[in-house]
Amino acid sequence: MAHPWLTGISGHHLAALVEELARPWEVAVEDQRYRVRGGVRKRAARAGARHRLVFVDRLAATLIHLRHDLPHAVLGLLFGVDRSTITRAIAQLRTLVAKRGYAALDCPGCVCAPLEDVFAYAHAEGAELRLGATEVQVRRPRAGRGGRRAFVSGKKKQNTMKATVVADYRGRTLWTDTRRPGRMPDATVARAEGIDACFRHFSEVEVLLDDGYLGLRRDHPGQALTPARKPNRSALPEFHERWRQHRHAHSSDRITVEHAQLGGDV
């Protein structure tokens, strides 16, 4: 289950993650037990039931879920445990993985955790970023729940949750935000995550965007780069041909963020 095709990372990288995250996970588990007990433990160390799913398997299950979006019940069947065990493991570890951030490809040892780190990395390395939104279908909220319509995506016509992804020119994921209801426009999500402020503080960073971020292009010309607008019908044929070539080139440069949305590297 730790094969790179499943987890998305090499065995060496997985071993480094285990060494880095094992101790914080143990501390988080003991903190939770302390709150449940209401004090220090009274039994001897290592007394009581053992974890049926060891830490390495918990990390592998979390990476597989994040990369392939497999249901918890399926992962429970693969690892030989109950679905609830997988649910608890993913809830614990995905937070630790998110806090760790993402490795920068052209800067060995650099890890981008908050969005400001990503823009600072791009400013220092002269890198051009790619930004896009990805939507994941979710169950329809029960009737009578407030804000039920907020999950209906105008693009997919389904109940979805939306997340913003920032990648580099090689398709390496550098940052992802929290999931938001699918009805929220892409540009609104980007502004809510503080991308406006990052554009102002890092005025030399360029970001490739799609047509869903025209508002950002208007507010930050020369930084937020979207495809050229379609010329008027009365325009000469060479203008239409130039527009098609520009959109094709822009799409080819930006396609790496679409690949990153399918499953980024941690």
Measure the CA–CA gap between 85 and 183, rounded to whole angstroms.
Answer: 32
The string over 221-234, giving b where at least 16 C-beta atoms fall within 10 Å of a residue's C-beta and e elsewhere, is eebbbbbeeeeeee
Facing residues of 176 across strands?
Answer: 165
Measure the CA–CA gap between 120 and 186, rounded to whole angstroms.
Answer: 23
Cβ-based burial of 36 (10 A; exposed 0-12, middle 13-18, buried ≥19): exposed
Give pLDDT, residue 266. 40
- At residue 102, φ and ψ (nearest 5 deg) are -125, 145
Non-local (6+) Cβ contacts of 265 within 8 A are 8, 9, 102, 103, 172, 173
Cβ neighbours, 10 Å, residue 57: 21
Give the sign of the dihedral formed by CA 85, CA 90, CA 93, CA 96: negative
Distances in whole angstroms, Cα of residue 197 to Cα of each of 53, 185, 226, 246: 42, 18, 19, 28
Half-sphere exposure of 242 (CA within 13 A, CB side): 9
pTM over cut 0.75: no
Measure the CA–CA gap between 85 and 96, rounded to whole angstroms.
Answer: 17
Task: Render pLDDT for 12-58 as a digit per residue (tens, 0 to 9).
Answer: 888 888 888 888 888 888 887 778 777 777 766 666 566 678 889 99
pLDDT of the chain, 266 residues: tens digit per residue: 888 888 877 888 888 888 888 888 888 888 877 787 777 777 666 665 666 788 899 999 988 887 787 888 999 999 999 999 999 888 888 778 777 766 555 555 555 567 888 898 888 888 889 998 888 778 777 777 777 788 888 777 888 888 888 888 887 778 887 778 888 888 888 888 888 889 989 989 999 999 889 889 999 999 999 998 888 888 888 999 999 999 999 989 888 887 765 444 34
> For residue 265, how far is the Cα from the chain centroid?
10
Q: Are 171 and 89 in contact (CB under 8 A)?
A: no
- Helix or strand or coil: residue 234? coil
Question: Counting every residue, how long is the chain?
Answer: 266
Amino acid identity at 22: A
